Amino acid sequence: MEKTKATPKPKSSKTPKYYKEQFEKIAEEKRRRIIDAALIEFSAMGYNAANINIIAKNAGISIGSMYQYFGSKEHLFLTMIDEAYKVIEDSITQIDSLEGNIYDKFEIILAYIQKYSREFRLLNQLYLEATTQGVSKISKKLSLKMESISAKYYRDLITKAIKAGLVDEKIDPEIAAFCIDNILVILQFSYSSDYYIERMKIYTGSDSHKKDAQVREKIMYFLRKALAPS
C-alpha cells in the first residue's frame, strides 16, 4: 500500500482545515489507515463514484466515526488534496534550498517529478482526478490550493533569472511559468497515470520510461533554447 509522508497535523487558525478536531486526537496509526483507505478509493473510483462507506470499512472504522472526523465526502477529499499539496510544498522547499541557477533548479525539478510521481502514484492520480470536470464544484478551492505555491516559485525563479541575464528579458515571467508548469504537470502524469504513460510512449518511444536521464536532458535542451537570451 502506498504511504504518504505524513498525516494531517493541527494547523494555525489562518490555514483552512477540512477535518474536524476529533481527527487530530486519534492515534497516528488510525489516521494513517483512514488516509490510505481514502486515497485508494478516490484514486480508483474518482470523486463522484467514491463511497465513503467503503472507505470507512477498509479503514476499519464505523461510518459514524468517519463523520466524527469529516463533515462530508468533500471535506475528506480536500484533506487528501492537502496530502498531495504537502508533497509539492516539501519538494519545492528542498529544491529552493539547493545551490544553482534556474536551469540547475529545473533539472532538479524534473528528477523530482520522475522519482516522486512513481513513489506517490496514487497521490498523482488523485491530483489528476482533481483537474476533471467531475469535481468542478470545488475546483476553485483545489486550483488555489494546488497551483499557487508552484506558480509563485516558477515566476520568482524566472524573474530572478531575467535580472541575472540568464533568461531573455522579453519573456513574460507569468506566461513562461504557465507554459513550463504545463510541461511539468504532463510529465508528472506521464509517470503515474496508465493513460499518460502510454501517451508518452507514443510521443517519445516505448522505452522512454527506462531513460530518465535522457528524457531530462532533452527537456532541458528545449527549455534552455526557449528561455535563453537571443
pLDDT tens-place string over residues 148-162: 788 999 999 999 999
Report the C-alpha gap between 79 and 66 in whole angstroms: 13
pLDDT in the model for residue 141: 66
- Confidence band (pLDDT; 50, 70, 90) for 145? low
Predicted local confidence at residue 20, as pLDDT: 92
The set of residues, in sequence order, having a beta carbon less than 8 Å from that of 8 and lying 6+ positions away, is 17, 19, 23, 24, 31, 35, 79, 82, 83
**Separation CA 37–CA 32 (nearest Å):** 8
pLDDT over 90 at 66, yes or no? yes
Question: Is residue 150 a contact partner of residue 88, using CB atoms and an 8 Å limit?
Answer: yes
As given in the structure block, the three cell numbers for residue 45 are: 473510483
Write down the mean pLDDT value for the chain: 87
- pLDDT, residue 135, reads 74
Q: Is the pLDDT of residue 189 over 50?
A: yes
Instruction: Give pLDDT, residue 11.
Output: 46
pTM here?
A: 0.79
Residue 3: pLDDT above 60? no
Name residue 132's amino acid.
T
How far apart, in whole angstroms, are the C-alpha atoms of residue 170 and residue 226?
Answer: 12
Task: Assess whether pLDDT exceeds 80 at residue 192.
Answer: yes
Whether 170 shows a pLDDT value over 60: the answer reads yes
> 203-217: string of b/e by CB count within 10 Å (b at 16+)?
eeeeebbeebeebbe
Q: Could you tell me how many residues make up the chain? A: 230
Is the Cα dihedral 39, 87, 70, 75 positive or negative? negative
Question: pLDDT for 5-43, tens place per residue?
Answer: 445 444 443 456 889 999 989 999 999 999 999 999 998
C-alpha cell at 126: 488523485
Task: Over range 167-180, report the average pLDDT.
Answer: 97
Helix locations, 120-138, DSSP H: 121-130
Q: Give me the percent of the chain exceeding a pLDDT of 90.
A: 63
Distance CA 105, CA 161 (A): 11
Q: Tens digits of per-residue pLDDT, 105-143?
A: 999 999 999 998 898 888 888 878 777 777 777 766 666
- CB hemisphere CA count around 87 (13 angstroms): 23
The closest alpha carbon to 98, from 164, 106, 149, belongs to: 106
* Span 198-226, average pLDDT: 96
